[in-house]
Structures are given as C-alpha cells and as structure tokens.
Amino acid sequence: MTIKQRLGVCYYPEQWPRSFWAEDARRMREIGIAVVRIGEFAWSRLEPREGFYQFDWLAGALEILHRAGLEVVLGTPTATPPKWLVDKMPDMAPLGADGAPRKFGSRRHYCFSHEGYARECDRIVEALACAFGEHPAVVGWQTDNEYGCHDTVESYSIAARDAFRKWCRSKYETTEALNRAWGNVFWSMELGSFDEIELPNLTVTEPNPSHLLDFKRFSSDQVVAFNRRQVEIIRNHSPGRAILHNFMGAFDAFDHYAVGADLDMAAWDSYPLGFLERSRHSDEFKTRYMRLGDPDFQAFHHDLYRSCGRGRWQVMEQQPGAVNWGAWNPVPAPGAVRLWTYEAFAAGAEVVSFFRWRQAPFAQEQMHEGLLLPNSEPNEAYFVAGEIAQELNRMEARAESARAPIALAFDYESAFAWRIQPQGQDFSYFDLVSAFYRALRKLGLSIDVVPPAPEEMKGRKMILAPGLFAARPELAAAMAQSGALVLLGPRSGSKTKDFQIPLALPPGDFGSLLGVKVRRVESLRPGVALAIRDLPGAHFSGWREFIALGEEAEAALCCEDGEVALSRRDNFYYLSGNPNDELLDALLRRLLAQAGADIIDLPQDIRVRDNGPLRYVFNYGSEPADISEIAGDAVFLLGGKTLDPCGVAAFMRKDEAE
C-alpha cells in the first residue's frame, strides 16, 4: 500500500474570533496544508455546563475547513475535563506516588481507573461521534491527547487501588498464586486476601519488584481500556475514518503496541529540540545539536510508531520553532524544520502535521511558536511548510512500506522492569536500545523497531534484542527458526514474567539457543571501563555479566580480565555487557557482514533512509558534506551532491532504478 504524503496543521478555532476562520483556512490551503486537527482540548466549549452541549461552533468550523478543501482529524476532548465536571466528582483526580492529589488547573487531571470519569468520557465521545461521525470533512479521529504525558499513567488513588485489586484477582485467582508469583514469603509480605493489596507507594524501602511490575502492567492496561472505550464508540458512529492517538517521545510508561492494536494508525508528537534537552545526553552533545536535535532520536520513534501502527503512521505535532517546555528553548537552525519533516516522510509518514497554526498569546503555551505569529504574520515555518508542500507535489511523494532486513526489539515490559530494577542507578533500557539503533543507523541501515513477538522474527537477516527482560519459549523458537543472525544481551532473558530469576539462570528460555548461563552480574560507576581484548577503544561500561559457556558455545570476544564478552553458538550471539560506541560499531560491522546485510560508510552526521525506491540523505553536521559516493550517478529529486548543513537530498536507489 502506498499513500500520498501530505502536510497537516493543528488548529484551535475556539481560541480565535470566528471572523478569523475562513481566512485561516484559505491560507492553510494556499501553502499546501491538506489536513487539520481540531477539537482535542475544547470540552469547556463543547459542554460549558453539564449536559448543555454547544456543538454549533464546531459544526461551523468544520464547514469552513471543508469548504476550503481541508480534511479534518477530530480530537476527543477527554484530556481536559472542565471544572464543573471535576467538581462533581473530586475523587477523579489522580493521586501522585506521594499521596497528594493532582488538581485541576492544567491538563490530564484524571485517574484512568475512575469509572465515573470514564462514563463522562463515553458520553461526550458518543455525542461528538454521533454529531460529526459522518461529516464529510472528518477523515479521522484522535482519541484524547498524549496519554501519559506529565507522568499520568500511574495513579495512587482509591479508584486505582480498587481496580488493581480486581486486576490481581482476575490474574491470579488465588492469593496463594499471587504470593508465589511475587515471592511474598520474603519479608513476610504474604497476603491473605486480595483486599489486602496496597499500591506500591509510600513503602519504607523499595517495594517488591514483582508487585511494581504488576502495578505497571495494570496501569498500562487501564490506558488501553480507557482508549478502547473511545475507539469502540467512534467506530460505531464514524465508519471509514482512521482512528489514531498522538503518542509522545521517549515515553515508556504504558504499552504503546497494545494501544496501537486498537487503532487504525499511530501518530506521534515530534519535538526534536525539546526532547534533546530532556534526554540524558551530555551537555556537550546537547550543545552540539541544540538547534537540530539528536540525529537518531526522531528516526527511532518513526520506526517505533510505524510498528505501533502496523505500517500506518504519521507525525501529528511537528515542532515548527522554539517551544516553551524545554529547560532551554532555542530557535531551530534554518533548515531544521524541513529536515525533520523529510525524515518523517522518508520513514513512511502519511502526514506531517505542524503544531500549531498560530502561536497563542495566552496561557501555558504562549511561548510555543507556530506557523503564524500571534498577530497572524507568518513566522519562519510558514514559508518552510509552503516550500515542502510544493516539493512533495513535485516528487509525487508516497508512503511506502516494506519489512526491513534488520529488526531491533523494543519492549515496554522490559522498560518497566529495568526502571524498577536498574541495579546500577544510571541503567536505562531506552538508552541501551537507542545505542544499538544509533550504531545500526550510522552504518546506513534501515531498521524495523519491533515488539518481541514471534511473527516479527520472520524474514530478517539480523535480529537484535538487548535487555529483553523475559524470554518466552515461543519467541526463542521463532528466533531459532528465522534463520537470522540473532544478537541478545545484556540482561536478555534474565527474569521470568513474574520478575523472578529463572531457575535455569539467565538468559532463561534463551539459554538453549545461546548455550550460555549468566552466573553473576555487576553494575559499574561512571568512569569505569572494562576493555575488550583486541578491539582498541572498545569497552563495556555500566554493566557487565559473568557467563559460563555451554559445550556448543564459544567465546567470540573477551574482556581484558578474561571474562567472555561475546559468546557464539552458531548464528546466536550473546553480548554480556553494555557496549560503548566503538564496541558496537566493530561488533555490528562484523555481524552484519556475516548476516549478509550491506552497510554504507557514512561520514559523521550524515544519515540515510530508504522509503520504497527513494533514498534520502540528511546532513546533521555543521559543514557541507560531499555525498557523491552515496548517490553514485543517481538523479536527485531533492538536493545534490553537496549537502549543506540541515540539507536533505533524495534520489532513486540504483538497485531500484535499474
């Protein structure tokens, strides 16, 4: 399936005089915007008093946009319940881990477990879907907004506690089973009834990790259930419209694959500069990329959400200028917004939608730039959008999809697990997977980021799954049958699903595949490096394991202290530590060659990405780069052999062109 790639914008008609709407729509069309998202925070205007619906203005806005030739994605307003509703049921507030209520006055002030609030959501979603479900302008729906933003997945309210008890009862059936799964004999934590279960906050020292993991699973399930109620209502009333949700970046507090499974496509909100500031990169890195963002962060999420959307995805909010929420908020480099947009299209985005049309002069996000200044003059991104729209037309750009030969697993339960038990305080699953992703991308590869599902293993040349929390026999079997080269570890398979150490020792059910046992592990403070023999500059840091080789396994790399660093059994490898970039680069070059995957020797800060037959090249550096070797004698659709900073080139791949 290929789909025409288009631009979108986020628009808030309720925030502007009605007299602005038609001119706004006209200008959107003029610069080539095709899709407009509206409505997702407008509850207080849609229902200013309980049961007193005011949909006229929305109908008017839809009509104006429709007449201008714009398509609309309509958001449900459930991320911002109005004050009258909150006052009706004050216990709908989420409670923080410290036990304090999280009050009205910004957004996301609801507990996912509060049935009363869920019913209110059913009601407003039903009303909206009934009213506009078949409106010709409406081509899609967005449920709620950025689930989990501001740490809102977990709530410690009474509603959450009662729901968690029910969830546990349903999962375990007997307290004996729960006590066994959690190992509650330890520290006399055994429970005699499901009503004795507490939420895992405010404990004297850390709670039981199994208890925490189930609470995170439960909290994730509550998000899934909350979303599904809206999806089902909308489906009933709005046939043929795509339902999506706009996810966030570097966010792992619920299972996005599971939410995605109920949607028609995935979307995410891409803020390269804000996310860079929030990351754990060094100050030097942050300063270096302060106006363009981490060259690999957006790309990773494009791949991740393409997976969540089972191939269909888009950017719902693209940063168009400085934002308001970073620790510091620089203006993007000239060219940055265009580069970001093409990175998304290169990864198969159907739409890239800018946030937002016009900068609001009021309230929390008044310092967040838009395509227009608050006084309606064009800001820089306005012109950029126009330029891209023309280029897209000229290129006849389409979202293509194909299974990549390289699959990198990203698993939300593993993220839960290693947050619960980092064992070394800076251990991060997200950073570990990101390091593998970056190393692969620097070698010019297109990658699928996938859940650890057996069906994702098929048809791959290489499968990578660092830090994969728990092994499942069917996954191990799928890996074995795939014929792919498989690289696991560190920490892969080191727990059972109940968060216990497997009795066969880690890597648990991966053990027979790999032929190793992990006897001991250690975390290492920053600055401690365990050099790898015969690979100058390569080392482990932060994490290292001591493994015993089974009969069929051999040491492929060793640490200088003699411990095995990489084991091999046939085409199954286990890496027993946290690798630095040099180690990853050397290791992946070796394994990719063995797997028969082609790499490209890219200059630093150059990245490539294939979308169907098109190959895109991006320059994240501060100097012009010569990409003639990459392009060969291909004809450029965008750019040319010299790529300026922030530059984008695109050409037809030779293997495709021939």
Residues forming the active site: 146, 317
Is 179 annotated as contributing to ligand binding? no
Determine the distance from the C-alpha atom of residue 409 to the mean position of all C-alpha atoms in its chain, rounded to a whole number.
13
Q: What are the Cα distances from residue 600, in Å, to 520, 635, 644? A: 37, 19, 20
CA-wise closest residue to 524 among 544, 500, 503, 504: 544
Please enumerate in sequence order all residues whose Cβ is within 8 A of that of 60, keeping only pairs 6 or more positions apart, or say none. 18, 21
Residue 133 beta carbon to Zn ion: minimum distance, rounded to whole angstroms: 8
Residue 130 or residue 524: which is nearer to Zn ion going by CB?
130
Residue 206 interacting partner from Zn ion, a second copy, none (CB closer than 5 to 8 Å by kind): a second copy
Beta bridge partner(s), residue 244: 142
Residue 139 or residue 530: which is nearer to a second copy going by CB?
530
Which residue minimizes CB distance to Zn ion?
130
Please enumerate in sequence order all residues whose Cβ is within 8 A of that of 161, keeping only pairs 6 or more positions apart, or say none. 197, 198, 199
What angle in degrees, to the nearest 10, is found between the helix axes of 336-346 and 380-395?
Answer: 40
Among positions 112-151, residues that touch Zn ion (CB under 5 A) are 126, 130
Q: Does 174 help bind a second copy (rule: CB under 8 A)?
A: no
Is 325 annotated as contributing to ligand binding? yes
Encoding tokens for residue 27?
A: 């200008």
d(CA 7, CA 24): 15
Burial of 546 (0-12, 13-18, 19+ CB in 10 A): middle
Amino acid letter for position 546: F
Among positions 5-24, residues that touch a second copy (CB under 8 A) are 14-15
Residue 374 or residue 483: which is nearer to a second copy going by CB?
374
CA-wise closest residue to 406 among 612, 591, 603: 591
Q: How many residues bind a second copy (CB under 8 A)?
A: 109
Is 107 annotated as contributing to ligand binding? yes
Q: How many CB atoms lie within 10 A of CB 550?
A: 15
Region of 349-357, 360-368, 408-416, 613-621 interacting with a second copy (CB under 8 A): 360-368
Residue 130 interacting partner from Zn ion, a second copy, none (CB closer than 5 to 8 Å by kind): Zn ion
Residue 211 beta carbon to a second copy: minimum distance, rounded to whole angstroms: 7
Q: Does 239 help bind a second copy (rule: CB under 8 A)?
A: no
d(CA 205, CA 181): 20
Residue 166 or residue 235: which is nearer to Zn ion going by CB?
235
Among positions 87-106, residues that touch a second copy (CB under 8 A) are 87, 94, 98-106
Q: Does 84 help bind a second copy (rule: CB under 8 A)?
A: yes
Encoding tokens for residue 259?
A: 């939410």
Helix (H, G, I), strand (E, B) or coil at 33: strand
Q: Are strands 242-244 and 138-142 parallel, antiparallel or unpaired?
A: parallel
Among positions 44-73, residues that touch a second copy (CB under 8 A) are 44-45, 48-49
Binding mask 392-431 for a second copy (x = CB under 8 A): -----------------------------x-xxx------
Region of 117-125, 200-208, 407-415, 648-656 interacting with a second copy (CB under 8 A): 200-208
What angle in degrees, to the nearest 10, is found between the helix axes of 158-172 and 175-182?
Answer: 100
Among positions 280-299, residues that touch a second copy (CB under 8 A) are 283, 286-287, 290
Among positions 446-485, residues that touch a second copy (CB under 8 A) are none
d(CA 462, CA 587): 13
Residue 48 interacting partner from Zn ion, a second copy, none (CB closer than 5 to 8 Å by kind): a second copy
Encoding tokens for residue 108?
A: 């996301």
Q: Which of 1, 19, 327, 658 binds a second copy (CB under 8 A)?
A: 327
Q: Which residues bind Zn ion (CB under 5 A)?
A: 126, 130
Q: Which residues are annotated as a binding site?
A: 107, 111, 145, 325
Q: Which residues are annotated as a binding site for substrate?
A: 107, 145, 325
